[in-house]
Amino acid sequence: METILDVQDIHTFIGQYHILQGVSVRAPKGSITALLGRNGAGKTTTLKSILGLTPPRQGKVVFDGREINGMRSFDIASLGIGFVPEHRAIFRDLSVEENLKIAERQKGDYVRKQEFIFSLFPDLKRLIRLPGTHLSGGQQQMLAIARALVADNQLLLIDEPSEGLAPVLIEQLMEAIKQLSAETSVVLVEQNFLVASKLAEYYVIIEEGRSVKQGNMKDLADDKATIHRYLGAA
């Protein structure tokens, strides 16, 4: 299967701390890959290292056949990688429409994509003129994901999409992520194993800054011992 993202044994430092001590991730094209692991394992740092926000000192990051480590963050993003950070990172002083328009990489991206975006997140159409600060947590999360869909991204990196959301919203969000994965490959960080197992086809487990296991999500779902050992869930 063709690989969209190939992270090869990256080592990342934050200050003097050696946070990632050998993480490898292979994300097949057109699929959802989940990065799993306990709090502080290094999942978010892995996403940030891919994007060049915390550049790795060692190892390689290959996106769509091109080595991207060492490139500047905005250049990496321009290659077609969308990022949805944790904590619903929208621009609160901008309206919903402005939040979406600002993500245009080419003029007309927003107009071209709005039908698709509003079919995934119908609520946003109703709230289009409202400032980001007036949105609820779930609406902000939807907007953050919708923003990453405006430009023609080949890969979406989503950090903790279900964090702090009500169950009904998680269902809605999962459905939207599933639908968008038909067009865009997705790598997501998810604490909630139930959500991750329903969404993703592939997984990578990260433990204390190292990738310790990866493979097919269906196999992991049957492997109770691994789940218990690395994720603490039964």
Partner 1 sequence: MAKNRFFPTLKSNGGMLVTLAVFILLPFIVGLFDGASPAQVWINGSGQSKFIQGLAIEIFILALYALSYDLIFGFTGLLSFGHSMFFAVGAYGTGILLKNFGFSLPATFGVIFLAGILQALLFGMVLPRVKGITFALVTLGMASVFHVLVISSELGPYTGSDVGLQGVVPPEFISPASQRLRLYFVTLAVLILVFMLYKRFVNSPTGRVCTAIRENEGRALMLGYNTFYFKLAALALSSLTAALAGMLHTIYQPIVSPNVAGLGYTVTALLIILIGGVGTLNGALVGAVVFRLLDYGLRRYIGESASFINGAVYVAIVLFLPFGIVGTWRLKSAQVKQGWERLAKLFGSR
In the complex, the smallest distance separating the C-beta of residue 52 from partner 1, rounded to whole angstroms, is: 9
Among 73-81, 115-123, 177-185, 201-209, which window interacts with partner 1 (CB under 8 A)?
A: 73-81
DSSP code at position 97: H
Q: How far is CA 85 from CA 39, 40, 47, 102, 160, in A?
A: 16, 16, 9, 16, 8
In the complex, the smallest distance separating the C-beta of residue 85 from partner 1, rounded to whole angstroms, is: 7
CA atoms within 13 A on the CB side of 142: 28
In the complex, the smallest distance separating the C-beta of residue 94 from partner 1, rounded to whole angstroms, is: 6
Count residues binding partner 1 (CB under 8 A): 23
Does position 130 bind partner 1 by CB under 8 A? no
- 68/227 with CB nearer partner 1: 68
- 83/230 with CB nearer partner 1: 83
Q: Which residues, numbered 137-196, are part of the site for partner 1 (CB under 8 A)?
A: 147, 151
- 92/229 with CB nearer partner 1: 92
- 114/197 with CB nearer partner 1: 114
Does position 50 bind partner 1 by CB under 8 A? no
Q: Are 103 and 67 in contact (CB under 8 A)?
A: no
Whole-angstrom Cα distance, residue 62 to residue 208?
23
Please state the φ and ψ torsions of residue 181, each to the nearest 5 degrees: -70, -15
Residue in 8, 58, 73, 191 binding partner 1, rule: CB under 8 A: 73
Output helix, strand, coil percentages for the chain, rounded to the nearest 5: 40, 30, 35
In the complex, the smallest distance separating the C-beta of residue 218 from partner 1, rounded to whole angstroms, is: 32
Residue in 5, 7, 32, 77 binding partner 1, rule: CB under 8 A: 77
Among 19-27, 69-77, 211-219, 225-233, which window interacts with partner 1 (CB under 8 A)?
A: 69-77
To the nearest 10 degrees (0 to 180), the angle between helices 137-150 and 167-180 is 10
Among 72-80, 122-130, 196-204, 211-219, which window interacts with partner 1 (CB under 8 A)?
A: 72-80
Q: Which of these, 152, 189, 230, 145, lies nearest to 45 by C-alpha position? A: 189
Q: How many CB atoms lie within 10 A of CB 119?
A: 11
Does position 93 bind partner 1 by CB under 8 A? yes
Which helix (H) or strand (E) is 44 found in, with range? Answer: helix 43-51
Buried b (16+ CB within 10 A) or exposed e, 164-200: ebeeebbebbbebbeebbeebbbbbbbbbbebbbebb
- Which residues make up the interface to partner 1 (CB under 8 A)? 51, 53, 72-75, 77-78, 83, 85, 89, 91-94, 98, 101-105, 147, 151
